[in-house]
Copies of this chain bind each other. A is one copy, B any other.
């Protein structure tokens, strides 16, 4: 990397942050229909920014859902082509009252930038945009050919992406996929991720009676939807934290001793990780360490539950209907399409006689696992060593990047997961933030990565 590039990266740090802030001000909440216009506005904003930094193509492409931003710079004939994937949509910000500053008014505090999407994933998309800007402004070119697919539906299951990729398979053809939507193990400790969990996200509705009933008039002789749903949820796990859905563990790969050793040797402070979240003691499936539970074991969590009277005061009602959003994180080789009907059948079986149960498949994605020995991973390791002055650690993650499986299956691409989030970044929670050291270190790493991939791949 030239001194001029390094100087450009240093000199423009504050403006890079200002440019990111502009994107963070747009409430591109993909889950909420009332924000459809904001999501589209954000897509246009990102495309404008990509044109501004010098991408030769930057289009907002409509889909059946939210639009996809597609960009390219193909001025390096003979060099490998890198496909960058990211997303400009964000999670809903609720509960709003817990935010220290409004979620869509980016606020600087303690060396971090606080806003919904700061880390997940606008901040990490902008690292790449700013790395591109730096190369193009300083050198007039990139070390590799670059294509970008920045979608607006990651937080709602990337429903339109697969069709887009299949339809545009020629256009998005590349030699390697790069994604920055994962985390570092610790501040200052860069990481490369070789595995992700999948997910199956469902919504369960249980109707116990035709209508809400008065608890005085009917109580004792009728089923209660909220009590029944609670009992149903309680039955989904046993006393050891194992999920009771028949066949749920059938395809779960058991952990190889070699990987178990690798995970145990990682510089991960489980106690600190848990206590930051307010967790005391050892929680989770018996027989596994915290890191094994997080990265290599499936889960079942209620993400939301509601039914009956939930406003202030008291109402003596027996709710007719109760509902829950229930999701499962999956590990290789579990398959959400195979598990959904099993979950559905089991939930219906657990419901009391006479209850009407509907189970909705909200979205799903397969787990993802690659070999850490691939040349593009090695290139990323070199880039991170140069950017951070220390070797990257190889990690898995417990989250899902819903499209990883799609990318590797449809496009057959090797994947580099190079992310810079931190565990206390409050991703999906109030007060999401992104540390400036991650943002600037990530921008530097992206700039190096393009150089290293020019050598390694293709």
Q: B222, B234, B290, B363: which contacts A314 (Cβ < 8 A)?
A: B363
CA A428 to CA B234, docked complex, whole Å: 29
A163 contacts chain B at the CB level, 8 A cutoff: no
Name the B residues within 8 Å of A31 (CB-CB): 311-315
Q: B211, B277, B329, B400: which contacts A210 (Cβ < 8 A)?
A: B277
CA A43 to CA B322, docked complex, whole Å: 35
Binary flags per residue of A312-326, CB closer than 8 Å to B gives 1, else 0: 111111111011110
CB closest chain-B residue, reference A241 = B220
A128 contacts chain B at the CB level, 8 A cutoff: no
Contact A318-B304, Cβ < 8 Å, known A222-B274, A398-B216? no
A386 contacts chain B at the CB level, 8 A cutoff: no
Within 8 A of B (CB), among A187-228: 197, 199, 201, 203, 209-224, 226-227
A91 contacts chain B at the CB level, 8 A cutoff: yes
Q: B218, B234, B320: which contacts A294 (Cβ < 8 A)?
A: B218
A302 contacts chain B at the CB level, 8 A cutoff: yes
Asked whether, in the complex, the Cβ of B305 is within 8 Å of the Cβ of A317, the reply is no
Q: B231, B302, B317, B362: which contacts A428 (Cβ < 8 A)?
A: B317
- Give the size of the chain A interface in residues (CB under 8 angstroms): 103
Within 8 A of B (CB), among A381-415: 397-400
CB closest chain-B residue, reference A291 = B221
Give A201 Cβ to nearest chain B Cβ, in Å: 5
Name the B residues within 8 Å of A305 (CB-CB): 226, 229-230, 305-308, 310, 322
Asked whether, in the complex, the Cβ of B183 is within 8 Å of the Cβ of A217, the reply is yes
CA A251 to CA B307, docked complex, whole Å: 32
CB closest chain-B residue, reference A329 = B219
CA A33 to CA B311, docked complex, whole Å: 11
Asked whether, in the complex, the Cβ of A294 is within 8 Å of the Cβ of B220, the reply is yes
Asked whether, in the complex, the Cβ of B280 is within 8 Å of the Cβ of A224, the reply is no
CB closest chain-B residue, reference A300 = B227
Asked whether, in the complex, the Cβ of B279 is within 8 Å of the Cβ of A209, the reply is yes
